[in-house]
Amino acid sequence: MSEAPILKDTARSKGRDALQKNIQAALALAEAIRSTLGPKGLDKLLIDDDGRTLVTNDGVTVLETAKVEHPVAKMMISASSAQDRVAKDGTTSTVILAGEMLQNAWQLILQGIHPSTIARGFRKAEQFVLKSLEEISLKANDAMQKTVVKTSLAGKGHSSMQETIADISLRAVKMIVEGDDDIIDPTKIKLISQTGGRVEESSLIQGLMLPKKRISSEMQKDVSNGKILLIDGGLEQQGLKSDLKLNVTDTGVLESFRQQERIMLKSQVDKLVENGVNVLACKEGIDDGIRDYLVKNRIQAFRRVSRNDLNMLARACSATLVNSIKSSRSEDLGEFKSSKNISLDGKDFWVVEAAGKAATIIAKGSTVDIIGEVERCFDDSLGVSVQLIQDSDVVCGGGASYVALARKLRRYAETIPGREQLAVEAYADGIEVILRVLAENAGIDPISSLIDVVAEQTNLDSDNIGINLTTGKPGDMLELGVLEPSGIIKQAIIGATEVSISILRIDDVLWAKQDIDASLPPQSDM
């Protein structure tokens, strides 16, 4: 029976033709960000529909910003985005690895090897590589941690900028670590950007810096070693909450209502004074009529502080967020080292320094474009720092670990019977692409670099030998301080393998024909 009536309005591509087109789309996407990899990688200039520009060499930023229609390309971008969420680095490597694996797989397909056989071989290779990765990993000590974070910033800005961002990020993450807790919450770190100045002038405070101003300039500007109360509500007059109708015959009645409300508000302030509160922060408003009473009692007050900021203040000051002043107890209060208002670039900020688990990074840059790149660098370095503190396993960079894994994988391939052996060898060739691209972007011959590194690793029986992009010669990455968390490579290999196998298993692509846009007005007769 013919299938034409069923697929009447569908364009179809199947078999080898469909696979070839899918692989071509994947290779085109990998080629688009290939030149951004490594410390010698180049930047991309992105321009949106409104003419706004963005200069970056962050792979996932380039991919997510670009307009991509092909479904296979979207699968590759999804793998890169997953890498960014999990590891915060290695997004470009994931796409390049997947593209090279698919290209090698296509060569096997041309030789008559079925895609399912290649997929099984890739899966075996992945399992072996992940096991071997644990064998070549090292435990990072405190001295190595900063080097690892700095390596993740290779190619992003100059060395002084990398040094500053790596140092601040690592110190910020260590500030929020709670004992032996295996899970570190990076949301406890607040990032505030300021245009003007150099990146090296960026700073870190243990506590919070919020764009807030105290409700009265007559209040104390700086309070030291005090107590803070956080209210998930406000300190203001409450309207009637029922449908009652009052028939007022005397204007004095209204004034007595207002007077009674002021007395009630003052009684709440008296409770603050009784509990020794120096700073008050409310989610909602604070009545202007009570402002002078707060000033008189030397209480620094802030209103309309967001719920997220209140929660961060609670962590920083070891306080408890309560619903109202009436329900507050002395044990709900938090402690701080200092609470002050400062002015930066014409804007008012509230700075709270405390010993709790919260930190604020003040990032600086000369222009808006520079600030944007600095924010992305901090985001990446904080993610790498969190991963490094949680898992101290690191491997050598400079392509050393990928070459070492490929060497071990080729020896493993010799033990596999059948055509899957060819797939495993193709997988080994695929993961070596990282070293070749690093050399290529540095203006070094990629083939010669790969051959030299493989020979050096074999002769010295060392998995630490990679490409020194400064000299163009093989070098010991451990001695040079080029290290990265093993979790980044692990996730990159997993992501690249998954998307490669998914694409290899597609042998039929059905494109539904697009209907004419009914929203367009009909054309009038000439």
- Candidate list 36, 92, 94, 147, residue with the active-site label: 92
Give me the pLDDT at residue 376, please: 86
| Catalytic residue list contains 348 | no
Give me the pLDDT at residue 461, please: 93
Q: DSSP state, 521?
A: P
What count of other Cβ atoms lies within 10 Å of the Cβ of residue 268? 17
Residue whose entry in the numeric block shows the structure tokens 């692409």 = 433
Q: Rounded to whole angstroms, how far apart are CA atoms 41 and 59?
A: 11
* Regions of the chain short of the pLDDT cut 70: 1-11, 179-182, 237-262, 512-526
Q: Rounded to whole angstroms, how far apart are CA atoms 81 and 75?
A: 10
Q: Mind spelling out the 3-state secondary structure of 391-430?
A: CCEEEECCCHHHHHHHHHHHHHHCCCCCCHHHHHHHHHHH
Tokens of 442: 């540095």
- Candidate list 36, 380, 463, 497, residue with the active-site label: 380
As beta bridge partners, residue 350 has 210, 341
| Catalytic residue list contains 167 | no
Instruction: Find all residues with CB under 8 Å of 95, minimum gap 6, and list them.
Output: 29, 30, 33, 59, 63, 76, 79, 80, 496
What count of other Cβ atoms lies within 10 Å of the Cβ of residue 32? 17
Distances (CA, A) of 241 to 231, 238, 244, 245, 308: 21, 8, 9, 11, 28
Residue-wise burial string across 468-492, b where 16 or more C-beta atoms lie within 10 A, e elsewhere: bbeebebbbbbebebbbbbbbbbbb
Tokens of 146: 């900063």
Q: Which domains does the chain have, with CATH numbers?
A: 10-138+395-512 (1.10.560.10), 141-189+364-391 (3.30.260.10), 208-239+256-357 (3.50.7.10)
Q: Rounded to whole angstroms, how far apart are CA atoms 9 and 514?
A: 9
As beta bridge partners, residue 342 has 349
Q: Rounded to whole angstroms, how far apart are CA atoms 507 and 12?
A: 11
- Candidate list 91, 147, 360, 497, residue with the active-site label: 91
Give me the pLDDT at residue 491, please: 93
Give me the pLDDT at residue 2, please: 47
Q: Rounded to whole angstroms, how far apart are CA atoms 421 and 483?
A: 31
Q: Rounded to whole angstroms, how far apart are CA atoms 251 and 18?
A: 84
Q: DSSP state, 238?
A: P
| Catalytic residue list contains 380 | yes
Q: Rounded to whole angstroms, how far apart are CA atoms 412 and 125?
A: 9
DSSP 454-476: HHHHHHHT-S-EEEETTTTEEEE
- For 69, counting Cβ atoms within 10 Å of its Cβ (0-12 exposed, 13-18 middle, 19+ buried), the class is exposed
Longest dimension (CA), the chain: 103
State which H helix or E strand residue 301 sits in: strand 300-302
Give me the pLDDT at residue 256, please: 62
- For 448, counting Cβ atoms within 10 Å of its Cβ (0-12 exposed, 13-18 middle, 19+ buried), the class is exposed
Give me the pLDDT at residue 30, please: 92
Kind of pairing between the strands at 53-56 and 138-139: unpaired
Give the amino acid at 131: K
State which H helix or E strand residue 236 sits in: none
| Catalytic residue list contains 91 | yes
What count of other Cβ atoms lies within 10 Å of the Cβ of residue 267? 11
Do the beta carbons of residue 196 and residue 366 sit within 8 Å? yes
- Candidate list 36, 56, 58, 61, residue with the active-site label: 58
Distances (CA, A) of 472 to 54, 96, 216, 433: 31, 22, 63, 17
